[in-house]
């Protein structure tokens, strides 16, 4: 289910590594919000953004706003998503909420694939 006004939104469910996973993606003017949950709660919330240096070089920053700070794969997931979002032409920041039972690399790759397949930017 997707809608365009006033905020582009996609809401769907998919089975990820054997777990029912619910998604809500919202495209605001200045941010993209992605919520993926297997536990019915928001989980760890991260913010990722593209930054341009003085000489035009690009870098990406990821900050854990709330939740687990000891999960490097969650940070890697946010970084990969912001890179893909930026490479598709969007300059918006990402707010990512991951409430997952499994933080494996396979799970996070599938989360990224599903978000990109249902993009709202």
Which tokens sit at 12?
Answer: 């769907």
Q: What global pTM score does this model have?
A: 0.92
Residue with tokens 């939740």: 67
Quick one: fold of 2-117? Ribosomal Protein S5; domain 2 (3.30.230)
**Low-confidence residues in the chain, pLDDT < 70:** 1-5
Say what the pLDDT of residue 4 is. 60
Task: List Cβ neighbours of 85 (8 Å cut-off, separation of 6 or more).
Answer: 32, 92, 94, 119, 121
Output the pLDDT for position 52.
Answer: 85
Handedness of CA 101, 67, 65, 61 (dihedral sign): negative
Q: What is the pLDDT of residue 53?
A: 79
Residue 56: the pLDDT is 79
pLDDT given at position 5 = 64
Map out the domains of the chain as residue ranges.
2-117
Burial 79-118, CB ≥16 within 10 A → b, else e: bbbbeebbeeebebbbbbbbbbeebeeebbebbbebbeee
| Pairwise CA distance, residues 55 & 10, whole Å | 37
């Amino acid at each position: 289910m997707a809608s365009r006004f006033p905020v582009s939104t996609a809401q769907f469910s998919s089975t990820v590594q054997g777990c029912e996973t619910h998604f809500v993606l919202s495209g605001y003017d200045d941010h993209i919000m992605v919520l993926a949950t297997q536990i019915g709660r928001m989980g760890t919330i991260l913010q990722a953004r593209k930054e341009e240096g003085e000489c035009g070089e690009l870098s990406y920053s990821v900050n854990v706003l709330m939740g687990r700070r000891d999960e490097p794969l969650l940070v890697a997931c946010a970084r990969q998503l912001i890179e893909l979002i930026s490479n598709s032409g969007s300059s918006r920041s990402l707010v990512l909420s991951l409430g997952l039972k499994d933080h494996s690399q396979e799970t996070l790759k599938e989360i990224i694939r599903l978000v990109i397949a249902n993009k709202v930017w």
